[in-house]
Chains A and B, each alone.
Chain A
């Protein structure tokens, strides 16, 4: 067990120290979300009616959930690359705890997700976002986000090992996550959507997470958003972690 922990930390450390050395990747966690915030806030902001709050307040939780949903991207690209370059073979020939490669990825994702959250919150606060709740609730929101991000890591791990090239992983990731985050309560009130999309958005886990974070940060009514997002997150992990582990075994044994 202690080997699993130390191997996982070694892997996580490796993934984290690599990050600043891939400036283009880092851009994805920093500049890109800021750009999204500014575009949404100032291009769409005026046209979107958000009853009871300013669009900036409405937007920040939504856009942070989106960037967390994308947070496993580094995992998809990294695993795909490691498989292609034979690094997975090297790891598997070492007396290393099996789960440490995937777990090390997921932990590194928590670090990058934390970075994204901090950057986006600072951007938000600068352009007028303000918390309506106490520090405890704010932190609860952040924890929920990181937990959701952890689940997303396994989805992306599966994508990364299924895709034949990092570019393909990129393509699959975007095609999957964009609609899922857009057909949700992240950017516009669901009530403004056509009926069909409303039904989709209502069932969308992203909607639940966004609503829960809005509750924690803005004090909006939670409804069943908190437990629904927890159930969804646990379910995603329960489904995708074993799938990812299985895929890892067979992909690595090629």
Chain B
């Protein structure tokens, strides 16, 4: 505590983290920077290295190479001190089934070094906050999955830590609990807490994160605000849906003039990345009408983080959204026609 750490003023700063498990290179040089009082959303497909990153930043694991500081403390050298300053809710709820909710939280409070009285009081506050007050004295093994998850999150908040790590915090929560948790996180951040959260849900990152880091294959492949990332994947989207999927494939050619990229058909819908939004709907309708194609539905939308995610991680081909998928679709159709 006495030594003045050479802080950069950042709440989290990771440089070149690598981690290998036998053959698997889980991290190949992860860099992250998080300003105090902000939320970093870490997005990435399964196996990208999100949990590994969180485990390193929370002192559960040491990196093979690279350094990281959290709250100004080195995650390896100052691990002991650092544990006073962080809260962790791991990917899977880590709560004791054979204790009650209140006992779980009291135990965690005691392990942070609090006396029994204050620890119990804090447990009650948190149970209230996470709508577990009625279930607080029941054994956790009688809890539903979402209740366990909420208790686990409450446990991460016991010491009101300045830096909070949440690994997929809303996986398995119902919509109301999700919203509730979002509000709680916003409240904490409003009070100055720094949050790093990993998520598979883009709307979650969109709503909560000040900055987003997209991780794939153990490196950060894109970083920025939600808007910056969306800007990277081009303009507004036009989705046109047809009653007859055959019309959709014809429409790909018809709508091609609206975009610099070739439109993509998936099922009965054509997706167009529009070069110019202004007047696009009128032109689209005219072009389709001229070919006698009848659209059931026509939507203009801003790119979502889904588009970002799919474009950047290249997982688009799986869902037929990308160019390669489109090509094979066309080939398949030609074969059917022949």
- Using a CB–CB distance below 8 Å, which chain A residues touch chain B? 3, 6-7, 10, 14, 17-18, 21-22, 85-87, 89-96, 252-253
Contact = CB atoms under 8 A, between A and B. Distances in A.
Contacts of B95: 87
A7 B188 CA distance: 28
Contacts of A252: 60
Given A90-B90, A253-B60, A253-B61, A96 B96 contact: no
Nearest to B55: A89
Interface string B69-111: 0000000000010011010101011111111000100011011
B90 A89 contact: yes
A21 B92 CA distance: 23
Nearest to A3: B113
20 contacts: A6-B110, A7-B110, A10-B107, A14-B96, A18-B99, A85-B97, A86-B92, A86-B94, A87-B94, A87-B95, A89-B55, A89-B90, A90-B88, A93-B58, A93-B83, A94-B83, A94-B108, A95-B80, A95-B111, A95-B113
B59 interface: yes
Nearest to B59: A93
A14 B111 CA distance: 11
B155 interface: yes
Given A10-B111, A93-B60, A94-B108, A87 B84 contact: no
B99 A17 contact: yes
- A-B interface, 9 closest residue pairs, ranked by CB to CB distance from nearest: A86-B94, A95-B83, A90-B94, A18-B98, A93-B88, A10-B110, A96-B111, A94-B111, A95-B84
Nearest to B92: A86
Contacts of A21: 98, 139
Contacts of A92: 59-60
Nearest to B152: A90
B112 interface: yes
A7 B112 CA distance: 9
A18 B110 contact: no
B60 A89 contact: yes
A156 B108 CA distance: 25
Contact of B94 (A17, A85, A96): A85
A103 B240 CA distance: 65
Given A17-B103, A86-B93, 5 more contacts: A7-B111, A21-B98, A85-B97, A86-B90, A87-B95
Contacts of B113: 3, 6, 95
Contacts of B99: 14, 17-18
B139 A14 contact: no
A95 B158 CA distance: 12
B107 to A, nearest CB: 5
A74 B107 CA distance: 19
Contacts of A6: 110, 113
Contacts of B110: 6-7, 10
Given A17-B103, A86-B90, A253-B60, A91 B111 contact: yes
Contacts of A96: 83, 111
Contacts of A17: 99, 103
B118 to A, nearest CB: 14
A87 B96 contact: yes
B116 to A, nearest CB: 9
A219 to B, nearest CB: 43
Interface string B269-281: 0000000000000
Contacts of A90: 88, 90, 94, 108, 155
